[in-house]
């Protein structure tokens, strides 16, 4: 397969994941479509290209790359990516947020859903956990990489800054933490609610190698994450500031915090789905 | 019946136990939030520098890192004061450790009033209650140096989150040096027939002292060491109370949420009989010497004796 075909195949997977997100959230009239849609390309790239991972799930994740979702509310995109990667049946997506499901509103290990290694939802905790897992890999002489994803609004939580300081101080250089830099949070834009200021300068001053990418451009994601991997084991943790558009690419939902945690109604669902090709078959 | 071998702090038992289990089990990792000497983790740090993690004054991060370490098969022991081990990081423990079922050992020193002069900001008296409420959290509060050392080593063999609580001052060390610590197993220290005294932590020795005084008055008190508050050894509690028909509990903790609360809940459900509680009654502590504080807040040997007289009148 040529690189170009590879990209187009990844885009086809991302389109299906976006359809899943909308249908999951619509079915229970709850959940978080905005950030999920915005990060669909990233999850597709991560699980279908970047990470060396094993869908025959093992909690310890020894010898494989592992991923932590810190902003757990975008669980729909996580679940769809895991299902299409073979962690559990795609049909199980239909149980999202319903009684007795393994697909809890926010990711959890409690129901033993393969692919999830820690609960998240209460914000700001995932980077610490990812760093702990990265330290364990070092103690185990395991050269694989720990990936994590965080919301930009989530960076309001102080624990992130404890974790950022720690990772640089202890030279945790086998971690790549991506920040969904969509500038939106529940009450408005990040500038309105709690300005992040010069985030790149902040992360660099904390001792991290910082890369930037357009998180809605598959080729750029592949290229940038490839560069991030090459930075591993050079004494510094790696952060990727990923510019995304919330609810991308649904025209009437895009780039507004209003779709952070609101489900589309029947009419809106049809309209949104008409903008996304069904590539792998709806669940 | 029990002789004091020496006086030693329970935190020393933790430090020595951690070093010993660390020598036996290479998966044990120690984490500390800038209190290595206070927690007596120096020996572990010196001998196993690769498995010691200095986190700095960042307890929330420490709990998260500990949760992450378990994902690589490690057995992390976090060390800081009890206040910063629980109240400060409750949500981190709740989500990343307890709800996620992670094998983290939360080791907490300087619990209760006996922290002394630093005062109420540091004297947590609510930690047992907070930790008890978390589903599947094991809560252990050993009574002396030997028992704390044994407990520190035993929890490595149990898979799941554990809260291990101990203290600052040197206290009588009277249990067996090479005891086997069994999580969830109440220890009958003294047999009696008139009243059951259930004590935990530093109050266990005071309960033994009280029993001695009561015996002189012709009152036969049964003394049981509840080192594991959760899971509570319900069979042992019920067996004792079935015999004595009344109860005194003793702990260095708030009445709300502590050992007394746990036992009262059990008795209310299965064997409703009179109970008196020696505990702090809805109050913060203050600066002072440990012994002065225990006296002022009603957690001393005479307070146990008074509670026994009171409960016997209600029997």
pLDDT tens across A185-220, in order? 999 999 999 999 999 999 999 999 999 999 999 999
Among A59, A125, A136, beta carbon nearest to B64: A125
CATH of domain B6-173: 3.40.50.970
CATH number, domain of A262, equals 3.40.50.970
- H helix or E strand, kind and range, residue B198: strand B195-199
Among B58, B76, B92, beta carbon nearest to A125: B92
Interatomic CA distance for residues A208 and A155, integer angstroms: 15
Report the SS3 class of residue B2: coil
- Cβ <8 Å between A162 and B58: yes
B6-173 and B187-314 in the same fold: yes
A-B Cβ pairs (cutoff 8 Å, strict): 121
A43: tokens are 């999850």
- Cβ <8 Å between B100 and A119: yes
| Alpha-carbon separation of residue A47 from A65, A84, A229, A236, B252 (angstroms) | 10, 9, 15, 24, 51
- Cβ <8 Å between B65 and A159: no
What digits encode the pLDDT tens for the residues A42-97? 999 999 999 999 999 999 999 999 999 999 999 999 999 999 999 999 999 999 99
Strand partners, B139: B163, B230
Report the SS3 class of residue B32: strand
| Interfacial residues of A (vs B; Cβ cutoff 8 Å) | 59-62, 66, 68, 108-110, 117-122, 124-137, 139-140, 142, 158-159, 162-163, 165-166, 169-170
Q: Phi/psi at B45 (nearest 5 deg)? A: -60, -45
Domain count across chain A: 1
pLDDT at residue A156, rounded to an integer: 98
Among A66, A109, A159, beta carbon nearest to B61: A159
- Cβ <8 Å between A66 and B71: yes
Which one of the listed residues B59, B126, B251, B276 is annotated catalytic? B59
pLDDT at residue A4, rounded to an integer: 55
Domain B187-314 has CATH 3.40.109.10: no
For the question of residue B286 being annotated catalytic, the response is no
pLDDT at residue B1, rounded to an integer: 73
DSSP state of B276: E
pLDDT at residue A3, rounded to an integer: 56
CA–CA min distance B73, chain A (Å): 6
What are the percentages of helix, strand and coil residues in chain A, rounded to 5? Answer: 45, 10, 45
| Alpha-carbon separation of residue A277 from A16, A57, A91, B237 (angstroms) | 7, 30, 19, 65
CA–CA min distance B19, chain A (Å): 18
CA–CA min distance A69, chain B (Å): 12
| DSSP-assigned states of every residue in B211-248 | HHHHHHTT--EEEEE--EEES--HHHHHHHHHHH--EE
Report the SS3 class of residue A22: helix
Position A193 in a domain: yes
Report the SS3 class of residue A103: coil
What is the end-to-end Cα distance of chain A in Å, rounded? Answer: 27
DSSP state of A108: -
Position A281 in a domain: no
Mean pLDDT of chain A: 97
| Alpha-carbon separation of residue A36 from A31, A73, A260 (angstroms) | 10, 8, 9
- Cβ <8 Å between B64 and A109: no
Q: Which parts of chain B register pLDDT below 70?
A: none
**Domain residue limits, chain B:** 6-173, 187-314
Position A278 in a domain: no
Among B66, B94, B95, beta carbon nearest to A132: B66
Position A187 in a domain: yes
What digits encode the pLDDT tens for the residues B71-83? 999 999 999 999 9
The interface predicted TM-score of the complex, written ipTM, equals 0.97
What digits encode the pLDDT tens for the residues A100-137? 999 999 999 999 999 999 999 999 999 999 999 999 99
Torsion of CA B58, B63, B68, B70, to 10 degrees: 140
- For residue A165, list chain B residues with Cβ-Cβ distance below 8 A: 56, 58
User: Would residue A86 be called left, alpha or beta, if left means φ above 0 and alpha means ψ between -120 and 50 degrees?
Assistant: left
pTM comes to 0.97
Strand partners, B224: B188, B198
Interatomic CA distance for residues B173 and B6, integer angstroms: 5
Interatomic CA distance for residues B297 and B207, integer angstroms: 16
- Cβ <8 Å between B69 and A110: no
CA–CA min distance B57, chain A (Å): 9
Residue among A74, A72, A70, A71 at smallest CA distance from A34: A74
Interatomic CA distance for residues B167 and B81, integer angstroms: 9
Position A151 in a domain: yes
- For residue A125, list chain B residues with Cβ-Cβ distance below 8 A: 60, 64, 91-92, 95-96
Among B72, B94, B99, beta carbon nearest to A133: B72
- Cβ <8 Å between A118 and B96: yes
Domain that holds residue A163: 3-273
């Amino acid at each position: 397969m040529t690189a170009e075909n590879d990209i187009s195949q990844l885009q086809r997977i991302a389109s299906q994941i976006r359809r899943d997100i909308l249908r999951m959230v619509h079915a229970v009239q709850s959940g978080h479509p905005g950030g999920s849609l915005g990060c669909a390309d990233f999850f597709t790239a991560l699980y279908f290209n970047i990470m060396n991972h094993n869908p025959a799930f093992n909690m310890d994740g020894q010898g494989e790359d592992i991923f932590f979702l810190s902003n757990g509310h975008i669980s729909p995109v996580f679940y769809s990516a895991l299902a299409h990667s073979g962690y559990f049946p795609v049909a199980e997506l239909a149980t999202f947020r319903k009684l007795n499901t393994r697909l809890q509103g926010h990711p959890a290990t409690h129901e033993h859903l393969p692919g999830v290694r820690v609960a998240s939802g209460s914000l700001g905790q995932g980077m610490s956990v990812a760093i702990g897992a990265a330290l364990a890999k070092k103690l185990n002489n395991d050269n694989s990489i720990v990936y994590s994803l965080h919301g930009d609004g989530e960076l309001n939580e102080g624990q992130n800054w404890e974790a950022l300081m720690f990772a640089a101080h202890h030279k945790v250089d086998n971690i790549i933490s991506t920040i969904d830099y969509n500038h939106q949070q529940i009450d408005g834009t990040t500038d309105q609610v709690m300005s992040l200021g010069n985030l790149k300068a902040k992360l660099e001053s904390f001792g991290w190698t910082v890369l930037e990418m357009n998180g809605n451009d598959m080729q750029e994601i592949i290229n940038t994450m490839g560069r991030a991997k090459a930075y591993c084991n050079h004494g510094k943790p790696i952060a990727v500031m990923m510019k995304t558009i919330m609810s991308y690419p649904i025209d009437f939902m895009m780039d507004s915090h209003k779709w952070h945690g609101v489900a589309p109604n029947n009419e809106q669902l049809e309209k949104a789905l008409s903008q996304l090709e069904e590539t792998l078959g709806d669940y | 019946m029990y002789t004091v071998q020496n006086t030693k702090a329970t935190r020393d038992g933790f430090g020595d136990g951690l070093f010993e289990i660390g020598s036996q089990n290479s998966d044990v990792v120690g984490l500390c939030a800038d209190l290595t000497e206070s927690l007596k983790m120096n020996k572990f740090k010196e001998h196993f520098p690769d498995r010691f993690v200095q986190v700095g004054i960042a307890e929330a991060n420490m709990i998260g890192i500990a949760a992450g370490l378990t994902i690589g098969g490690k057995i992390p022991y976090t060390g800081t004061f009890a206040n910063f081990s629980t109240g400060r990081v409750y949500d981190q423990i709740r989500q990343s450790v307890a709800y996620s079922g992670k094998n983290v050992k939360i080791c907490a020193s300087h619990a209760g009033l006996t922290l002394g002069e630093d005062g109420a900001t540091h004297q947590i008296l609510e930690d047992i209650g907070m930790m008890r409420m978390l589903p599947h959290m094991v809560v252990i509060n050993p009574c002396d140096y030997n028992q704390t050392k044994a407990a520190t080593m035993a929890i490595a063999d149990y898979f799941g989150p554990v809260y291990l609580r101990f203290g600052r001052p040197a206290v009588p060390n009277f249990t067996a040096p090479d005891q086997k610590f069994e999580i969830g197993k109440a220890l009958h220290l003294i047999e009696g027939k008139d009243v059951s005294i259930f004590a935990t932590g530093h109050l266990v020795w005071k309960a033994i002292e009280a029993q001695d005084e009561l015996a002189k008055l012709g009152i036969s008190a049964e003394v049981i060491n509840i080192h594991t508050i959760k899971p509570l050894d319900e069979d042992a509690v019920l067996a004792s109370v079935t015999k004595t028909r009344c109860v005194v509990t003793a702990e260095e903790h708030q009445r709300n949420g502590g050992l007394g609360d746990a036992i009262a809940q059990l008795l209310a459900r299965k064997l409703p009989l009179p109970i008196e509680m020696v505990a702090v009654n809805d109050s913060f502590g203050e600066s002072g010497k440990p012994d002065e504080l225990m006296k002022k807040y009603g957690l001393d040997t005479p307070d146990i004796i008074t509670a026994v007289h009171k409960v016997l009148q209600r029997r």
